[in-house]
A and B are shown apart, each in its own frame.
Chain A
Amino acid sequence: MIKKLICIECPKGCVLSVETEEGKVIAVSGNECPKGARYATSEIENPLRVLTTTVLARGLCVKMVPVKTDRPIPKDSLSEAMTAIKRIRLQKSVRVGEVVLEDLLGLGIRVIATRDVLSEE
C-alpha cells in the first residue's frame, strides 16, 4: 500500500510516498534528506510528537513558564500528558533545560523548561 505523508521535520514539508506492508514501512521516496525516511517510518509505525506547553509559576517574575518534553512522546498520549503537566506548580527559579517533571506518565520522558526564569517576584 502506498501512503502519502508530509514530512514535518523541517519547514520544506516534502511530500513523502510511503510503501507499507502489514503496517511496516518498506520504502520511502520524495524525501529530500534522510530525516524524511526516519519520519515516515516512525509516523506509520509509532507516531511521535514533541509536546510544548506552559506551566503555572507561583511567586516568580512571570505567570507561565514554557516547557517541552525532552524527547518526542507517542501522539496518542498528548492529551494525557497535558493533564499531568497542568498539575505542575513552579515555585522556584529555573533555567533553560532544567527538569520540571522527571518521569512523564511513566514514559521515561522528562519535561524541561525552555526559558530562564531567574528572578522572584
Chain B
Amino acid sequence: MVERDLVIVGGGPAGMAAALAAHEAGITDILLFERDQHLGGILNQCVHTGFGLGYFHEVLTGPEYADRFAKKIRETPEIEVSLKSFVVHLTRDKELTFLKPGLLERVKARALIMATGCRERTREMVHIAGTRPAGIFSAGLAQKLINIEGLLPGRRVVIVGSGDIGLIMARRFFLEGAEVKAVIEIRKESRGLLRNIVQCLDDFNTPFYTSHKVAKIYGRDRVEKVKVVKVDDRLNEIPGEAFEIECDTVLISVGLIPENELIEMAGLAIDKKTNRPVSAELNKTAIDGLFVCGNAFQVYDIADSVSRDSEIAGRLAAEYLRGVS
C-alpha cells in the first residue's frame, strides 16, 4: 500500500489551513482529499460577506476567503490535491480507503488530519409533527440550491430556528423575490449573530418570533402551512397561543453537528450528544498521529477561527512526524 507522510481529509477551510500550516512546518509529502470538484468546501456556497476579518483583516465573501487558501495550495507542489475523492473507510492504523471516479484505492497515512466539517441537524432531531410533503429543506441545502444550482426552492418560506445559515437564507430568499413569512425560534434569543438579525431580517421587515415553535407541518404533496405555538421558559407549549402561517417551504436551521463517522469507524470515542471526538486537547485524539480539526472537532461560529485552530492541527501533525521519524 502506498504510504504518505500526511493525509488530510476535507478541502474546506479547516483542511486547507491545516495543509498549508503543515507544509510551513516542514512536511513535504501531503495528500489532501476533497469530495467535491473544487476546493473550498461549504465556503463556495456562502456567497455573503462576513469572512476574513479575523484572519486577513478585511471583509471577504466565502468564495473569496476560500480562494485565498486554494491559490496558496495550488502554488505548493508538496501538497497533492485529490478532488472528487470520497473516503469511505478508515482503520486504527490510519489506512484509508477512498473512491474516486473509476477507482477504489487505499493509502496509508503516517499522520492523518480529519477536516470533515459538519452537517446540519434535521427536522427529525427537533421533532416537528405532521406530514412529510415536499418543500422541507435544511437551510444549507436551500443555500446550495440557490447559490450553486441556480434553483429557487420555494416562494413563501417559513424558517425554523435562527441559526446563522437560516438568517442568511432569509435574506437570500427575499432578494431572490420570495416572501419570507417568518423566522421561528424556540429559545428566548436568536441563535445566530446579532448582526445577522439586523442585516438579514430587520432590513427586510421579516417577522421574527422568539419563544415560539413550529409544532406541525401541513400539506399533502407540497407544504401548505405550519402551526406555530408560543412556548414558556421551559419550552413547553402554551395552550391557546397558537396560529397558522401559510407557506410552501419550510427551512430548518437548528444547528450543526460534527461529521465524524470515519474516526468512529477507526474506533475513536465520539460524544453522543455533541458528536465531537472525545479529546483532552484541541485537535488531538486517542490515536497517535490522528488529528481532527475545524467543525469536525467542534462547531465554530466563524470560519476565521476554523482556519486559525486548524493551523495548529497542521503543526501538531508536523511535530508528530518529526518525533516518529
Q: Is the CB of B175 within 8 A of A53?
A: yes
Q: Is the CB of A64 within 8 A of B147?
A: yes
CA distance A51 to B204 in the complex (A): 14
Q: Is the CB of B64 within 8 A of A64?
A: no
A-B contact count (CB 8 A): 76
Residue from B53, B64, B150, B175 within 8 A of A11 (CB atoms): B53
Name the CB-closest residue of A to B168.
A52
Residue from B53, B61, B195 within 8 A of A6 (CB atoms): B195
The segment from B9-17, B43-51, B281-289, B317-325 found at the interface with A is B43-51
Q: Is the CB of A13 within 8 A of B63?
A: no
B129 on the A face (CB < 8 A): no
| Residues on the A chain within 8 Å of B199, using CB | 8, 49
CA distance A82 to B197 in the complex (A): 21
Beta-carbon contacts under 8 Å, A44-71 to B: 49-54, 56, 62-64, 66-68
Q: Is the CB of A68 within 8 A of B49?
A: yes
Residue from A9, A66, A67, A75 within 8 A of B203 (CB atoms): A75
B88 on the A face (CB < 8 A): no
- Known: A63-B150, A75-B203, A96-B64; 13 extra A-B contacts, CB below 8 A, are A5-B198, A6-B197, A7-B195, A8-B199, A10-B195, A11-B195, A13-B194, A51-B175, A52-B47, A52-B61, A54-B150, A62-B148, A66-B62
Interface residues of B, Cβ cutoff 8 Å to A: 44, 47-50, 53, 59-64, 67, 146-150, 175-177, 193-195, 197-199, 203, 301-302
Interface residues of A, Cβ cutoff 8 Å to B: 5-11, 13, 49-54, 56, 62-64, 66-68, 75, 78-79, 82, 96, 114-116
